[in-house]
């Protein structure tokens, strides 16, 4: 019997500490019109940060619990935890194993997916493939989580973007296709544009690298806008080709939630109306590795996605890498 994988449930978590654009206008008053320009180009109006004594796995935990609760699953029933982030608890061990412990998912295996904001579509596609090929997997938890503000310098204007949060999905076997297709693309020539460059094997953290700010996340060079404006449509069209459907067959899309104008341009390129997508950066900021599952959960909660809908998700991560996963919703 052929096995398929479906998204059984979703969940999200947004912390309670709000950092408004008005607060950032005061903080960065020495940079004239900076916040106004960033708000206009992104549509981000506010963001929420976790308490300073929280780590990334603490943010992931409530989203994971919510997704499991909605699926009617106990943590002990989870067979595998896949966690995507580029703001991990530690360089090693993996954050997924920390979440497994905190969640009480004692029977689950774990691994991390480390392709930044492309991590959730990547993790969902991996989970679907593993479920289809491994009869022992009956409940897979996929989590995207972001805590980047904690890895940034307090005086870095790029904190405008960073909102903390987590989104999760429970994937289970199904008799009919849920997962339809995936697509990925990358260009490592951009790996020095934005990142945290001291603390790994390229440059282990030292007093000097910390003093000079290299142990905090930094944008060294701006990404050309065409990376997303041209790349996202390519991912969607590749998913359609791989899955044997037309772009016009797509009922709903979710894209990385960094700039709303980018999503508007891409939807126009694809010939899809804005009513077939959803944005959350306006109210929660850019939640990075978590933004795709957060937007998916919010759209489902608002009734924008119905049973049987073909949903295409595309995430774009620094490095850069881009990934898409298409699912027929149960």
Whole-number pLDDT of residue 66: 98
Mean pLDDT calculated for residue range 193-214: 95
Whole-number pLDDT of residue 225: 83
pLDDT top residue among 177 and 107: 107
Task: Indicate whether 287 pLDDT > 80.
Answer: yes
Mean pLDDT calculated for residue range 259-263: 97
Rounded to whole angstroms, the Cα distance separating 256 from 161 reads: 13
Mean pLDDT calculated for residue range 112-122: 97
Split at pLDDT 50, 70, 90, the class of 310 is very high
Rounded to whole angstroms, the Cα distance separating 84 from 229 reads: 23
Of 108, 119, 132, 236, nearest in space to 168 by CA: 119
Task: Indicate whether 196 pLDDT > 90.
Answer: yes
Instruction: Indicate the pTM of the whole model.
Output: 0.97
Split at pLDDT 50, 70, 90, the class of 1 is low
Whole-number pLDDT of residue 223: 85
Sheet arrangement for strand 310-317: 179-186, 321-328, 310-317, 252-255
Whole-number pLDDT of residue 202: 96
Say if CB 214 and CB 198 are below 8 A apart: yes
Strand duo 310-317 + 17-20: pairing = unpaired
Whole-number pLDDT of residue 17: 97
> Considering the chain, what percentage of its residues have pLDDT values greater than 70?
100
Of 195, 189, 256, 197, nearest in space to 229 by CA: 256
Alpha-carbon distance values, 169 to 45, 71, 151 (Å): 27, 9, 26
Whole-number pLDDT of residue 222: 87
Q: Which CATH architecture describes the domain 4-176? A: 3-Layer(aba) Sandwich (3.40)
Split at pLDDT 50, 70, 90, the class of 55 is very high
């Amino acid at each position: 019997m052929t096995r398929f994988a479906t998204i059984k449930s979703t969940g999200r978590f947004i912390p309670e500490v709000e950092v408004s654009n008005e607060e950032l206008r005061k903080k960065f008053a020495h940079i004239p019109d900076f916040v106004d320009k960033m708000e206009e180009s992104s549509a981000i109006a506010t963001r929420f940060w976790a308490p300073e004594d929280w780590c990334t796995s603490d943010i992931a935990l409530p989203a994971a619990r919510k997704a499991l609760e909605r699926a009617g699953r106990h943590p002990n029933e989870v067979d595998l935890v896949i966690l995507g982030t580029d703001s991990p608890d530690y360089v090693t061990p993996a954050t997924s194993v920390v979440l497994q412990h905190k969640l009480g998912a004692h029977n689950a295996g774990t691994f991390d997916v480390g392709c930044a904001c492309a991590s959730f579509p990547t993790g969902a596609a991996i989970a679907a493939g593993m479920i289809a090929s491994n009869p022992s997997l009956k409940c897979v938890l996929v989590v995207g989580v972001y805590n980047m503000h904690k890895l940034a310098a307090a005086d870095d204007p790029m904190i405008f973007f960073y909102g903390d949060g987590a989104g999760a999905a429970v994937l289970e076997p199904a008799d009919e296709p849920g997962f339809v297709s995936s697509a990925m693309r990358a260009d490592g020539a951009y790996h020095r544009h934005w990142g945290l460059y001291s603390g790994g094997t390229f440059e282990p953290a030292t007093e000097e690298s910390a003093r000079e700010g290299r142990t905090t996340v930094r944008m060294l060079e701006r990404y050309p806008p065409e990376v997303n404006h041209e790349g996202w449509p390519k991912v969607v069209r590749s998913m359609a080709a791989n899955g044997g459907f037309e772009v016009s067959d797509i009922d709903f899309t979710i894209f990385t939630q960094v700039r709303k104008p980018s999503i508007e341009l891409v939807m126009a390129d694809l010939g899809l109306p804005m009513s077939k997508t959803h944005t959350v950066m306006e109210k929660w900021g850019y939640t990075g590795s978590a933004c795709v599952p957060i937007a998916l959960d919010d759209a489902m909660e608002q009734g924008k996605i119905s049973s049987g809908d073909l949903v295409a998700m595309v995430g774009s991560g620094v490095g850069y890498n881009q990934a898409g996963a298409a699912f027929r919703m149960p």
